[in-house]
Structure 1
């Protein structure tokens, strides 16, 4: 019988969860609008939190009112955000400590992000190479969050059952993806409110969090 007292793996969202890059994305979106004569708002920007990048590109094309293909919009956004991350990685409080703690406990981790690999690269370079045993990016899946494919793929790469995984998320879109894959979800809201859910456990911060205890409490809630 599988041990339900501790997670077999922890699957990490990135934007807004490990790193607080959402302000970078929002700044670059406004720059994109100014550069191409479009209109944008903070409300529209928050609607994109956690979304697949191509879907975000389609949303921006429609609501910003610019005549660019979604793929070109994504590339221009990535250019701006990658430059900012290369200058400074804005870690969320407690994130790096938890990654180190999980490594010491030999609990494998995967990164599950809808950002593309070239944006993820400078963040990975700031961490030990052994931090993540699997990496799933938005350009490596056919269906992004909120579809379960990203989390199912991460669990498969680690060789674990997703129902014994703890996912860490900050958005409804990501939480829906992880729940649909069968994971217990630790939600640490950041820029957008997140709804309650059967498999969701909430925390105000990653700082000082005990992920093993959180997984056990989330599993108990599911019984």
Structure 2
């Protein structure tokens, strides 16, 4: 089989690298209920993978009487507290694949809609130097599903987005990477990802290697 090693691999964080979505949902529920509202499972699923300011506006519609920035800060503070108290819950196979990429000298970027201080907390606790660049929600004007975050991630590494593989767990993230022009691996977690916004859907990263990424990228590049 033809192999085409990607010029870089771009990673989503929440739900892809770490299992933080339950922490976000808990924080959302607590904040909305503190204002006498209700935050349902469907409400939580509707904002998975999108920008935090989008989540903040959805929570305002549920009765949270705070400005968007304050909502984002309170949610982030609560999730970071849970990460510190319980440890960082890595998704199966994610750290292992990332470590293999680093050993192979493949450039990597984290492209997340979480804000910078949370993204760097996760990166600083990997146990190895995992990323050459970190693009967070406060680094871009347009959040996922807009293509800007992944375009910025590729630019930060000095590579063509068409030569990159992106790994995502949500529809907004997959759409962002796909429309930017990357080869997209969808690893659905909390919500399903439309097949037409990915080049492959994998149930897990457990057991996946650079060889698998290269084989997929080769197929996409030769279409």
TM-score per shorter chain, which class? over 0.9
- Moved >4 Å (runs of 4+): none
* Partner residue in 1 for 2:69: 71
Bigger mean CA deviation after superposition, 105-114 or 129-138:
129-138
Structure 1: any 5+ residue segments left out of the alignment? none
TM-score, normalisation: structure 2 = 0.93
TM-fit CA distance, 1:93 = 0.7
Contact 1:8 1:108 in 2 (8 A): yes
Contact 2:109 2:131 in 1 (8 A): yes
Looking at structure 2, the residues matched to 4 and 144 of structure 1 have their Cα atoms a distance apart, in angstroms, of 32
TM-fit CA distance, 1:214 = 3.1
TM-fit CA distance, 1:129 = 5.4
Contact 2:174 2:197 in 1 (8 A): no
Cα distance per residue 1:13-50 (max 9 Å; x no partner) = 00000001000000011110221212210100011100
TM-fit CA distance, 1:55 = 1.3
Cα RMSD, aligned residues only: 1.6
Looking at structure 1, the residues matched to 177 and 215 of structure 2 have their Cα atoms a distance apart, in angstroms, of 17
3-state DSSP class of the match of 1:197? helix
Please state if 1:209 is matched with 2:202: no
**How many pairs are equivalent?**
220
Structure 2: any 5+ residue segments left out of the alignment? none
3-state DSSP class of the match of 2:195? coil
Alpha-carbon distance change, 137 to 85 in structure 1, aligned in 2, over 3 angstroms: same
